[in-house]
Amino acid sequence: MGDYPSRSANSNAGGPAVTARHSRVAGGGVSPIPPDDQPLGGGGALPKKSRFSMETGFRALSTSAGAMVLVIIVAIAIFLISKAVPALRANTENFLTYQAWFPNDDQPRFGIAALAFGTLLSSIIALIVAVPVALGIALFLSHYAPRRLATPLGFAIDLLAAVPSVVFGLWGRDVFLVPVQDFSVWLNHYFSWIPLFGGNGPFGRSILLGSLVLAIMVLPIVTSLSREVFQQTPAMNEEAALALGATKWEMIRTAVLPYGKPGVIAAVMLGLGRALGETIALALTLGTVFNISFNIIQNGGNSIAANIANTFGEANDTGRGALIASGLVLFTITLIVNMAARAIIYRRREFRDSAA
């Protein structure tokens, strides 16, 4: 999985060396080949093409397609900023600290504080719930389950990842709400002395419901990524641990987990990125309140993405700009999280291919 037999030798051997000559004849200022790249063979007898070379054209085409990705990322930043700045200018409150969202008034007042807090809180709770379970399943699939069970179960987990988020949102609102409500009432009855579970209700459409739905959605991502990492543990390490008399769990703790640690960290951060950006599931399950509160069982909670989906319909020009500004914040956060995750994966190059 880790090495690329096809990559190193072939493409430099034949193609570019011959065609470099052609492209120079064609006057290819567009050619990305450096001019000091001399032909390897004595190609003097080859016919010279005077017309535009297909090779140059195809190379330029594929290069520009590859560059499209960079262009899109830069364009996202540019266009979001260009639409966000007028709205931020019109804002009469501090965008970063104000805790309400009235961008459609004559005196627009809006701030991201409550939204960003809700986004982070729901994502973190989702990860706290999902990661241990996901690692358990990953270990089960890679080391405990018999092969006949591991394959269909892994397939089921992959299918769970394919289910659209709006379906989870609908399920969370119509089905999962009732047990979470009962659980919240129970928590409030016995544990209201903990600030997390305080309050006088109503309960149900809370951060807890949103986070649990998010956790179910994050689970398959973290599972499939960590499973791949765990499966790549060198058999030598595992056998060495077992040969020293380790029990199965000790083998996992001393051989599998240390080996998979960077991959697991990266998987968790990718899951965090997915949780931060999740829109519709939270728009359907959260109670949409603009305040900063650590109470997770009372109706309330909001997130940047859910707020965009909920208030986009009645937004005017400034309102749209304000939503785009909040989207810019979300973009920045997810970009940082994703880049950190990818940097961790890239440092351990073995995992690079398995990170989908």
- According to CB under 8 A, which one of 86, 176, 192, 257 is a site residue for other proteins? 176
How many whole angstroms separate alpha carbon 261 and alpha carbon 204? 36
Instruction: Assess 151 for contact with other proteins (CB under 8 A).
Output: no
- According to CB under 8 A, which one of 95, 98, 110, 168 is a site residue for other proteins? 168
Q: Which two tokens stand for residue 25?
A: 């004849």
202 three-class SS: coil
Question: Residue 203 carries which DSSP code?
Answer: B
The footprint of other proteins on residues 208-267 (CB under 8 A) is 216, 219, 223, 247-250, 252
Instruction: Assess 62 for contact with other proteins (CB under 8 A).
Output: yes
How many whole angstroms separate alpha carbon 269 and alpha carbon 192? 32
How many whole angstroms separate alpha carbon 109 and alpha carbon 234? 57
- According to CB under 8 A, which one of 68, 100, 128, 194 is a site residue for other proteins? 68
Question: Residue 36 carries which DSSP code?
Answer: T
Instruction: Assess 205 for contact with other proteins (CB under 8 A).
Output: no
CB 322 within 8 A of CB 91: yes
- According to CB under 8 A, which one of 196, 240, 289, 335 is a site residue for other proteins? 335
Distances in Å between the Cα of 266 and the Cα atoms of 197, 222, 315 are 31, 9, 37
Looking at 179-187, 202-210, 255-263, 290-298, which segment touches other proteins (CB under 8 A)? 179-187
- According to CB under 8 A, which one of 43, 97, 194, 353 is a site residue for other proteins? 353
Could you count the other beta carbons within 10 Å of the beta carbon of residue 64? 11
Instruction: Assess 279 for contact with other proteins (CB under 8 A).
Output: yes
Max Cα-Cα span within the chain: 90
Location of structure tokens 């379970």: 133
Cis omega before residue 202 (within 30°)? yes
Instruction: Assess 164 for contact with other proteins (CB under 8 A).
Output: yes
Report in angstroms how near the CB of residue 144 gets to other proteins at its nearest.
6
Nearer Cβ to other proteins (112/337): 337
CB 115 within 8 A of CB 101: yes
How many whole angstroms separate alpha carbon 242 and alpha carbon 258? 16
Q: Whose CA is closest to 341, among 72, 127, 69? A: 127
How many whole angstroms separate alpha carbon 306 and alpha carbon 280? 6
Question: What character string, x for contact with other proteins (CB under 8 A) and - otherwise, covers 299-318?
Answer: ------x--xx--x------
Report in angstroms how near the CB of residue 303 gets to other proteins at its nearest.
10
The footprint of other proteins on residues 92-121 (CB under 8 A) is none
Report in angstroms how near the CB of residue 192 gets to other proteins at its nearest.
14
- According to CB under 8 A, which one of 25, 27, 128, 186 is a site residue for other proteins? 186
Report in angstroms how near the CB of residue 91 gets to other proteins at its nearest.
17
Instruction: Assess 334 for contact with other proteins (CB under 8 A).
Output: yes
How many whole angstroms separate alpha carbon 260 and alpha carbon 351? 9
Instruction: Assess 167 for contact with other proteins (CB under 8 A).
Output: yes
The footprint of other proteins on residues 29-58 (CB under 8 A) is 32, 54-55, 57-58
Looking at 96-104, 106-114, 233-241, 333-341, which segment touches other proteins (CB under 8 A)? 333-341
The footprint of other proteins on residues 121-150 (CB under 8 A) is 132-137, 139-140, 144-145
CB 223 within 8 A of CB 294: no
Instruction: Assess 86 for contact with other proteins (CB under 8 A).
Output: no
Distances in Å between the Cα of 334 and the Cα atoms of 137, 168, 257, 273, 278 are 26, 21, 27, 5, 11
Number of residues that bind other proteins (CB under 8 A): 112
The footprint of other proteins on residues 8-27 (CB under 8 A) is 9-11, 13-16, 18-19
Nearer Cβ to other proteins (136/258): 136
Enumerate the β-bridge partners of residue 271. Answer: none
